[in-house]
C-alpha cells in the first residue's frame, strides 16, 4: 500500500501503530474536504438553489457508496451518525424506547467496548430491563453455551463487536445472529474495528444493525454510519428532534419523515459524509478490503512472530488475533511507561484499558495492556522499529 498517499505517514517521523484509535487520512480525502468547502458548501435537503442541490447530491451519493461498501441490500438503509458510539446510542435509545418493555432482557458480551456496553447497561437500568453479560472463554470469544442459556423469549436485543478492540478477536457473529434470530431477537454489531481490517457484508451477516466510524476507515472525524434493516427503522421512534426529520408539525402532533431521515435531525455533517464516501472509494480503488486484509494478515503474522522474540513480552490472551490488533504486557514495566518510552523513540502505540474495563478486570489486568494496531500503510520497518524500541526498554535496569 502506498505510504505516499498519507501526508503524515510520508514524513517518516513516526511508526504510527495506533490505528485502532484513529487512522491517518489519504491526501485525496483531505483534498475532497477542501474542495467541498471551496466549491459547493451549502445546507442539504433544504435549499432549492444550485449549491444546495449539489451538496445534497454529493451527500446522498456518499450514502449510496456506504451501502455498496458494506454490502447493504435492499432490506437495509444507511443512517449517517456521528460515529460508532453515536450509532449504538441511537439504536439503543430508539429501539428500547419502542420495544423495551419492563422485564425484557438485553444481552451483551464481556469483551465489548464501553460504547457497546454502557448505553445498554444504563438504559436497562432506567427502563427496568434485565442486563446480561456473557463471559468470554480463554480464546477471547463469547461463551456460546452461556449465551444459549441466557437467550430467552424475554430477550429484546443482543449486542456484540465484530472484532474486539482490545485483542483483535473476531467474534462468531454469524452464529450469534443465527441463534438470536431463531428466537426472533435482533442483533446489533459494533463494526468499528472489523470494518478497518476485513470485508464486511451486512446482508451476508444478516445482522439487524451494524455501526461504523469513518475516522477508523481513513475518513474524517465526527461522521459514521448505522447500516440497519429497514423493517426495524420503520418501527422505531426517533430520540433526537429538530429540522428536516419531520414531515408535518402542528400544535398537537408531529409526523416524522421516513427512515433514514427521521434519525438525522438538524443540519447533518454533510461535508464529513462526503469525505467518508471519498475514503471508502479510496479503499475500493486499492482493490477493496480483500486486498487490504491480505496485506495486513501478512504483516500481522510478522508482528506476532517478532513480538514473540522480544525479551519480557507476554501475551495475556493465548489466541492469535484475527484482525490487526495485538495487546501485550512487559512486566515489570507498567503499560503506560512502555508507551511513553516508545513515544520517545518515535513509535506511537496505545496503553491502558482501551475502554474495555469489564473484560480486563475479569482477566486481572486492571492496569491495562500495551496495544499495537495496524493500518494499511504500516510495513515491516514499522514493526522492526517497535521491536527495537521494546528491546531497549527490556534492557533498562530497574
Active-site residues: which are they? 355
**Residue 80 is inside which H or E element, if any?**
strand 76-81
CB-side exposure of 380: number of CA atoms within 13 Å?
A: 5
Paired strand residues for 213: 224
- Contact at 8 Å (CB) between 32 and 278? yes
Residues sharing a CB contact under 8 Å with residue 317, sequence separation 6 or more, in sequence order: 138, 139, 140, 167, 169, 327
Q: Are 371 and 356 in contact (CB under 8 A)?
A: no
DSSP character for 264?
Answer: -
Q: Where are the alpha helices (DSSP H) in the chain?
A: 7-10, 27-39, 50-69, 84-99, 118-127, 144-150, 173-182, 202-205, 230-233, 270-285, 288-308, 335-343, 357-362, 380-394
Question: For strand 155-161 and strand 105-109, is the pairing parallel, antiparallel, or unpaired?
Answer: parallel
C-alpha cell of residue 27: 491526501
Pairing mode of beta strands 209-213, 224-229:
antiparallel
- 187 contact partners, CB below 8 Å, separation of at least 6: 157, 158, 159, 160, 173, 176, 177, 180, 181, 207, 208, 209
Amino acid at each position: 500500500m502506498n505510504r505516499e498517499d498519507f501526508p503524515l505517514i510520508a514524513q517518516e517521523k513516526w511508526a504510527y501503530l495506533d490505528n485502532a484509535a484513529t487512522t491517518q487520512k489519504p491526501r485525496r480525502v483531505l483534498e475532497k474536504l477542501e474542495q467541498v468547502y471551496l466549491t459547493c458548501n451549502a445546507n442539504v435537503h433544504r435549499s432549492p438553489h444550485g449549491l444546495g442541490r449539489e451538496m445534497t447530491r454529493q451527500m446522498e451519493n456518499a450514502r449510496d457508496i456506504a451501502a455498496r461498501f458494506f454490502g447493504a441490500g435492499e432490506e437495509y438503509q444507511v443512517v449517517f451518525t456521528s460515529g460508532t458510539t453515536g450509532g449504538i446510542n441511537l439504536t439503543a435509545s430508539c429501539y428500547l424506547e419502542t420495544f423495551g418493555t419492563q422485564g425484557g432482557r438485553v444481552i451483551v458480551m464481556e469483551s465489548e467496548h464501553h460504547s457497546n456496553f454502557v448505553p445498554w447497561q444504563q438504559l436497562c437500568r432506567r427502563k427496568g430491563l434485565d442486563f446480561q453479560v456473557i463471559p468470554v472463554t480463554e480464546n477471547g470469544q463469547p461463551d456460546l453455551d452461556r449465551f444459549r442459556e441466557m437467550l430467552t423469549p424475554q430477550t429484546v436485543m443482543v449486542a456484540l463487536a465484530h472484532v474486539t478492540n482490545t485483542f483483535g478477536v473476531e467474534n462468531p457473529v454469524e452464529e450469534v445472529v443465527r441463534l438470536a434470530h431463531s428466537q426472533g431477537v435482533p442483533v446489533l454489531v459494533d463494526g468499528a474495528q472489523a470494518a478497518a481490517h476485513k470485508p464486511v457484508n451486512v446482508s451476508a451477516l444478516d445482522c439487524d444493525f451494524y455501526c461504523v466510524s469513518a475516522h477508523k476507515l481513513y475518513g474524517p472525524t465526527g461522521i459514521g454510519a448505522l447500516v440497519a434493516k429497514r423493517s426495524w427503522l420503520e418501527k422505531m421512534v426517533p430520540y433526537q428532534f429538530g429540522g428536516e426529520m419531520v414531515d408535518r408539525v402542528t400544535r398537537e402532533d408531529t409526523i416524522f419523515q421516513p427512515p433514514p431521515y427521521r434519525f438525522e435531525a438538524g443540519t447533518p455533517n454533510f461535508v464529513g459524509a462526503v469525505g467518508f464516501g471519498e475514503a471508502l472509494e479510496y479503499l475500493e480503488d486499492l482493490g477493496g478490503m480483500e486486498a487490504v486484509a491480505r496485506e495486513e494478515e501478512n504483516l500481522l503474522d510478522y508482528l506476532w512472530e517478532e513480538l514473540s522474540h522480544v525479551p519480557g513480552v507476554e501475551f495475556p490472551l493465548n489466541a492469535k488475533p484475527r484482525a490487526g490488533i495485538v495487546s501485550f504486557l512487559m512486566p515489570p514495566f507498567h503499560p503506560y511507561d512502555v508507551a511513553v518510552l516508545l513515544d520517545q523513540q518515535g513509535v506511537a502505540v496505545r496503553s491502558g484499558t482501551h475502554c474495555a474495563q469489564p473484560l480486563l478486570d475479569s482477566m486481572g489486568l486492571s492496569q491495562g495492556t500495551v496495544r499495537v494496531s495496524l493500518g494499511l500503510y504500516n510495513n515491516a520497518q514499522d514493526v522492526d522499529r517497535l521491536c527495537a524500541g521494546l528491546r531497549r526498554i527490556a534492557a533498562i535496569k530497574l
